[in-house]
Amino acid sequence: MKDLILVVDDEPAVRELIKSQLEFLGFNARATSDAREALAIVNGDTPPSLAMLDIEMPGFSGVELLKQIKGSNEDIQVVMVSGLHDLGTVRKCLRAGAYDYLAKPFELDDLANTAERALERRRLVRQNREYQENLERMVDEQTEEIRETRDIALFTLAKLAESRDSDTGMHLERIAEYSRVLAETMRLKGHPEIDADFVGWITTASPLHDIGKVAIPDAILRKPGPLSPEETRIMRTHTTIGGDTLRSVLDKYSSEQTVLRMAMEIAYSHHERWDGEGYPRGLAGENIPLAARLVALADAYDAITSRRPYKAAEEHQEAERRIVVDRERHFDPQVVDAFVACGAELDAIRRRMQERQPSPHHRLSSLEGTPASLTRSGWQST
C-alpha cells in the first residue's frame, strides 16, 4: 500500500498543482484547504505518512496545524510549503517538528526529492523504534528468565537447609505467602518503605530466613524435646551464620542485589524483638529492618498454627490473640495491625496449604501441648 501524502493549502490552484504533481510522481495524494478536515484525516483510520502544509492560511496557520499534527501522531513527517522566505518562521517550524521546508516556486525534482527524503525518514524512525521495542522485549525476557533462575536457585537453597528438619512441612512456602500478604497489606495502607518491588523481593527473600540452620548439629536441630541453655545458645547462632553467609555472597558477587540484601537482613534480624529483647544484637523498634519485622510475625504465626512433635497446631483465632498480646513487645505494632487486617487471607492460605501438605509422621506425639516457649521458632508467647 502506497504512503498517503496530505496537501493542505488555501489556494486551490497551488493545492491542486502539488497534488497532481505528486500523483504524477507515483505518490498517493489527498488535498484539502481546511485545517479541521486535515486533522480529521490525520486522526482517521488511514493517517498520512507525510503532510505538506502551507504556512500562511487564513484563520488557522500552518505552524499551528503542524503542532497539532505532531501532537496527534509524531510518526507523520511534515514539510512546510510557502512563498515567504522568512528564516525566523523556518526555524520556528523546524523547532515545532517539521522535517523540511520547501520554498515556492519549486521544481518537480525538488518536490520529488523532498517527499522521498521525508518518507524515508519516517521509515527509518519506525524501523528504529521497532528495533528498540524488540530489543527492550528481548532484554525484559532475558531479565525475567535470569530473575526466575535466581529465585529458583534461592528457594532450592532454602529447601535444602529446611530438609534437615523433617517436621516443617511446607514452612517455606507458607512464610513466603504470609510475608507477601503482610507486605502487600501495608503497601495498600500507604507504608512509605513498601512498594510493589518490596513485595516481590520479600516473597523471594523470606524463605532464606533460616538458611543458617544448615550449620546447626542434627542433635539440636532435630531434638524433639526442649533445648538446654547451651543448645539454645547454639541454635540461636543460625541467625548470624545465615546472615554472614549471605553477606559474603553480596560482598563477592553482587553488592547491589536487592533481594539478597533483604535476605541477609532477614536472616540476621528475624529473631529481634520490637522491645529490644531479641537476638542476636538486641535491636529495637525501627532499628530492626522492616523486612525482618514482617518475617518475624509470619514465622511466629506459622509456628503457632503448625503441628510439631512437641506441640499441637492452634487455630487462627488463637494465633491472632497471642500475636496481638505481643504488639509493641515482640512485634512492630504496624505489622500487627496489618496482620489483623489481612487475617482472613492468611487463614485461607494456611488452610489451603494444609490440604496440600502430606500427613507428617511424628515421632513423639506425647510431647504435644509443650509451651510455645520451647518451639524451634524461638518465639515465646507472653
Does residue 372 contact residue 230 with C-beta atoms inside 8 Å?
no
Least confident interval from 26-40, 126-140, 313-327, 338-352: 126-140
Domain end marker among 88, 113, 133: 133
Question: Mean per-residue pLDDT for 288-296?
Answer: 98
**Whether residue 99 is found in the same domain as residue 201:** no
**Whether residue 129 is found in the same domain as residue 174:** no
Span 293-337, pLDDT tens digits: 999 999 999 999 988 766 788 999 999 999 999 999 999 999 999
* Domain assignment of residue 379, yes or no: no
Please report, as a single letter, which amino acid is at residue 196.
A
* Domain assignment of residue 147, yes or no: no
**Whether residue 67 is found in the same domain as residue 27:** yes
Residue 330 belongs to domain with CATH number: 1.10.3210.10
**Whether residue 242 is found in the same domain as residue 351:** yes
* Domain assignment of residue 156, yes or no: no
| Percent over 90 (pLDDT), the chain | 42
- DSSP at 3: P
**Whether residue 93 is found in the same domain as residue 240:** no
CA nearest to 266, candidates 319, 221, 211, 214: 211
Higher pLDDT, 370 or 208: 208
**Whether residue 91 is found in the same domain as residue 187:** no
Give the angle 51-44-50 at the CA atoms, nearest 5°: 15
| Domain count for the chain | 2
Question: Mean per-residue pLDDT for 21-30?
Answer: 89
SS3 content of the chain, % helix, strand, coil (to 5): 60, 10, 30
Residue 161's pLDDT is 61
* Domain assignment of residue 362, yes or no: yes
Domain end marker among 82, 116, 133: 133
> Is the pLDDT reported for residue 95 higher than 90?
no
Say if residue 133 is exposed, middle or buried (CB neighbours under 10 Å; 0-12, 13-18, 19+): exposed
- The average confidence (pLDDT) of the chain is 83
**Whether residue 224 is found in the same domain as residue 361:** yes
Residue 79 belongs to domain with CATH number: 3.40.50.2300
- The overall pTM is greater than 0.85: no
**Whether residue 240 is found in the same domain as residue 199:** yes
In terms of residues, how long is the chain? 382
**Whether residue 174 is found in the same domain as residue 61:** no
Residue 335's domain comprises 163-374
- DSSP at 308: B
> Is the pLDDT reported for residue 362 higher than 50?
no
- Write out the three cell numbers for 240: 548470624
* Domain assignment of residue 260, yes or no: yes
* Domain assignment of residue 141, yes or no: no
* Domain assignment of residue 381, yes or no: no
**Whether residue 124 is found in the same domain as residue 196:** no
Is the C-alpha dihedral spanning 292, 296, 301, 306 positive or negative?
Answer: positive
- Write out the three cell numbers for 287: 532499628
* Domain assignment of residue 144, yes or no: no
Integer Cα distance of 40 and 164 in angstroms = 71
CB atoms within 10 A of CB 87: 8
**Whether residue 173 is found in the same domain as residue 282:** yes
Beta strands in the chain (DSSP E): 4-8, 28-32, 50-54, 77-82, 100-103
**Whether residue 117 is found in the same domain as residue 193:** no
Span 52-64, pLDDT tens digits: 998 877 667 788 8
Domain end marker among 133, 153, 183: 133
Give the angle 108-61-41 at the CA atoms, nearest 5°: 70
